[in-house]
Amino acid sequence: MQVYKFGGASIADAGRMAALIPIINDVDQPLLVVLSALGKTTNALERIVNLACSGEIDDALDLAQGIELKHLDYAKGLLDETHYAIATKELKPHFEELEKAVKNVVSSKYDYSYDQIVCIGELLSSHIFAIYLQQCNITNSWVDIRNVIRTDDTYRDAVVNWDFTKLQAEATIGRKLKQDKVVVVQGFIGSTQTDKSVTLGREGSDYTAAILANMLNMESVTIWKDVNGLQNADPKLFPNTVKIEAITYNEVIEMAFYGAQIIHPKTIKPLQNKNIPLYVKCFLDKALTGSVIKAEVGSTPYPPIIVLKENQVLIQVTTRDFSFITEDNLSKIYGIFHNLKIKINIIQNAAISFVACIDNREDKVKALIQSLNLDYKVAINEHVQLLTIRHFTNEVFFELTKTKSILLRQETRKTIQVVMK
User: 243 and 338: one domain?
Assistant: no
pLDDT at 22: 97
Residue 255 covered by a domain:
yes
User: 363 and 263: one domain?
Assistant: no
Residue 300 covered by a domain:
no
User: 326 and 401: one domain?
Assistant: yes
Q: How many residues make up the chain in this entry?
A: 421
User: 65 and 185: one domain?
Assistant: yes
Residue 128 covered by a domain:
yes
Q: With b meaning 16 or more CB within 10 Å and e meaning fewer, what string describes 2-26?
A: bbbbbbbbbbbebebbeebeebbee
Exposed, middle or buried, 149 (CB in 10 Å: 0-12/13-18/19+)?
buried
User: 327 and 249: one domain?
Assistant: no
As a whole number of angstroms, the distance between CA 284 and CA 309 comes to 27
Residues near 40 by Cβ (< 8 Å), separated by ≥ 6?
Answer: 8, 12
As a whole number of angstroms, the distance between CA 102 and CA 380 comes to 35
Range of the domain at 311: 305-420
Residue 299 covered by a domain:
no
Of 238, 263, 294, the residue at which a domain comes to its end is: 294
Residue 167 covered by a domain:
yes
pLDDT digits (tens, 9 = 90+) for 232-244: 999 889 988 999 9
For residue 333, what is the domain's CATH number?
3.30.2130.10
User: 311 and 272: one domain?
Assistant: no
User: 171 and 312: one domain?
Assistant: no
Q: How many structural domains comprise the chain? A: 2
Residue 62 covered by a domain:
yes
User: 280 and 378: one domain?
Assistant: no
Q: Report whether 112 contacts 37 (CB < 8 A).
A: no
User: 266 and 334: one domain?
Assistant: no
User: 376 and 251: one domain?
Assistant: no
Residue 154 covered by a domain:
yes
Please provide residue 345's backbone torsions phi and psi, each rounded to the nearest 5 degrees: -85, -30
pLDDT at 390: 96
Of 275, 294, 313, the residue at which a domain comes to its end is: 294
Residue 73 covered by a domain:
yes
- Angle at 414 (CA atoms; ends 271, 384), nearest 5 degrees: 90
pLDDT at 262: 72
pLDDT at 285: 95
Q: In what order do the strands lie in the sheet with 406-411?
A: 346-349, 353-359, 305-319, 376-390, 415-420, 406-411
For residue 241, what is the domain's CATH number?
3.40.1160.10
Of 294, 313, 328, the residue at which a domain comes to its end is: 294
Residue 187 is given by DSSP the state S
Residues near 250 by Cβ (< 8 Å), separated by ≥ 6?
Answer: none
pLDDT at 211: 98
Tens place of pLDDT per residue across the chain (421 aa): 999 999 999 999 999 999 999 999 999 999 999 999 998 999 999 999 999 999 999 999 999 999 999 999 999 999 999 999 999 999 999 999 999 999 999 999 999 999 999 999 999 999 999 999 999 999 999 999 999 999 999 999 999 999 999 999 999 999 999 998 999 999 999 999 999 999 998 678 999 999 999 999 999 999 999 888 999 999 889 988 999 999 999 999 888 888 887 787 689 999 999 999 999 999 999 999 999 999 999 888 999 999 999 999 999 999 988 888 888 889 999 999 999 989 999 999 888 899 999 999 988 999 999 999 999 999 999 999 999 999 999 999 999 999 999 999 999 999 999 999 9
User: 239 and 95: one domain?
Assistant: yes
User: 250 and 365: one domain?
Assistant: no
